[in-house]
Amino acid sequence: MKYILVTGGVISGVGKGIIASSTGLLLKSLGLKVTAIKIDPYINLDAGTMKPTDDGGEVDLDMGNYERYLAGISLTREHNITTGQVYKEVIDRERRGDYLGKTVQIVPHVTNAIRERIQRVAKIPVDASGEEPDVCIVELGGTVGDIESMPFVEALTQLRYVTPKSDFFSIHVSFVPAIHGEQKTKPTQHSVKTVRSAGIIPDLLACRCDKPLEASTIAKIALHCQVEERQVMVVYDMPSIYQVPVLLDTQNLVSVLTPALNLDKIPRNETRIKKGVEMWGLWKDTVVSRDDPPVTIALVGKYTELHDSYLSVVKSLEHSAMKCRRTLDLQWIDSELLEETADKAAYDSAWAKVKSANGILVPGGFGHRGTEGMIAAAKWARENNTPFLGICLGMQVAVIEFARNVVHLSKATSEEFDGDAEHQVIIFMPEIDKTKMGGTMRLGLHDTHFQPGSEWSKLRALYGNVDVVSERHRHRYEVNPAYVDKLHDAGLNFLGKDDKGERMEIMELKDHPYYVGVQYHPEYTSRVLDASKPYLGFVAASAGCLGPIMKEMVQRNTNGVCGKPHA
């Protein structure tokens, strides 16, 4: 196993996740099998409200970057290691008597548990080959020097010590600010000094900056940080984060990694090498900057002031726009501003954006706040033939809107919004414990079966006319089965259901350019080179190119189940 450790210094949010993912992508282009581990020093057992994995774990957002860049991999909950997990493991061992009554300490007991976990998780197969990976990218969250990360730094130092020199490589990501036009190297010097004093010796520096560094700046960093100039990568701001791998490739990152890790001695078959080369060529063609006409998407949500709440949604839209060769113009609209109780000026401005958009997207969420605005947006899209995509809560509000205005159940709502309402067309899933919040959702990968008579479905065509799709879920509420027939008879088609045929997973209007709702979260399986099908159809319909996109998806599909990673 080859380990590549990515640490960060100077400031948080310096871009470790993108650099780790980009490094992994370049290694995959060589035909290597790559996996990734994210270490988060927080006390939580999991990320709680972030990103679900196939196995139902909730993990850090950086895990999404790994999966989006490292085409064809699907990580597990174990690939996100937290302080809480490690301490719980050590305490459980102590309670069982595994330490034979000895005093349990950070060193060696906690550090050993960390090291053992990294070595075990690194070997878990993550792609369709089912084989053990060749390289594991390990990203240490936070900034080196933080008190929370000290046990992990010590454990990683020990891992480097017990690992052959040619099997461990350390990348330190630092920030080089420019003050009054002068590029300052001192923060990076101090950051490298800190990480070296902790026992981690950087083999390569990734210098984040606004603009390319001057030759004299690079030389100064190399001299004072005791690396060669070729070991200083300049990672300046790019038009798109998807262009960072190309930037690193132009600076010959692979030529630095190959001799240091003896990558050319790792056995690879010709098929994997060929796929790597093809994948890299497609990546460079897909992410290149374009001057295409924009496609305007109105994202109507309740958390629009915190854009990271919809990070996976935005990434899926970006992947789809790139596939459609269009520039994404994303309009953030607070759903509360679409309600009649909103300030008049804000109300008019928000509705002007909705009405001028090429497509309307209502993503997931929880709670009653802002949902009347979402319902109003769904109604506008339905009545004005504007492409619409509803995700989880977005599908549920579209069902409520249809029930109210087409089926004439004027007081139709969700049990989440009004537990005493007469027409609860959306209900709490019966198996969920209503008394708890944490860990009570339907999570992870579940199959959805297209129903007989759905051959006309645009979404089914986008999936390649398969019978079953497999996508990740994260929800507590669902469409009330008691109202399904009434809604279906009025024209709201529930085309996808769960294994038992009881849970509504996909809804679609037939005589509409694109009006689709899904109970699952397809954004979690979207990839740069394999855009999520519901999002791709939505963006393509909004851009006026849905026909060719559907035709391509049908022609290229060779598998019976979509949504799962491919080799």
Q: From CA 46, how far away is CA 501, in angstroms rounded? A: 32
How buried is residue 136: exposed, middle or buried, by Cβ count under 10 Å (0-12/13-18/19+)?
Answer: buried
Q: Based on the residue annotation, tell me whether 415 is a catalytic residue of this protein.
A: no
Residue 73's closest CA among 525, 474, 556? 525
361 token code pair: 């997207």
Residue 133's closest CA among 27, 5, 20, 265? 27
Three-class SS of residue 294?
strand
User: DSSP for 423-459?
Assistant: -EEEEE-TTS-TT--TT-SEEEEEEEEEPTT-TT-HH
- Which run of H or of E encompasses 479? strand 477-479
Q: Active site residue: 139, 319, 521, 562, which one?
A: 521
User: Distance between alpha carbon 122 and the CA centroid of its chain, in Å?
Assistant: 20
Entry field: residues in the chain: 567
Three-class SS of residue 5?
strand
Three-class SS of residue 140?
strand
Q: Which residues pair with 5 in a beta bridge?
A: 138, 170
Q: From CA 79, how far away is CA 121, in angstroms rounded? A: 6
What is the signed CA dihedral for 352, 356, 362, 365, rounded to 10 degrees? -30
Q: From CA 351, how far away is CA 373, in angstroms rounded? A: 10
Amino acid making up residue 369: R
Q: From CA 305, how far away is CA 523, in angstroms rounded? A: 20
Q: From CA 468, how far away is CA 461, in angstroms rounded? A: 12
Q: Active site residue: 392, 473, 475, 512, which one?
A: 392
Q: Based on the residue annotation, tell me whether 523 is a catalytic residue of this protein.
A: yes
Q: Active site residue: 339, 416, 508, 523, which one?
A: 523
3-state SS string over 57-108?
CEECCHHHHHHHHCCCCCCCHHHEEEHHHHHHHHHHHHHHCCCCCCCCCHHH
Q: From CA 394, how far away is CA 315, in angstroms rounded? A: 18
Question: Sheet holding 34-40: strands in order across?
Answer: 80-82, 34-40, 135-140, 2-8, 168-175, 204-209, 232-236
How many separate helices (H) and strands (E) can be counted in the chain?
18, 24
Residue matched to tokens 């990515």: 6
- Which run of H or of E encompasses 172? strand 168-175
**CB-facing half-sphere around the CA of 112: CA atoms within 13 A:** 8
Q: Based on the residue annotation, tell me whether 336 is a catalytic residue of this protein.
A: no
**Active site residues per annotation:** 392, 521, 523
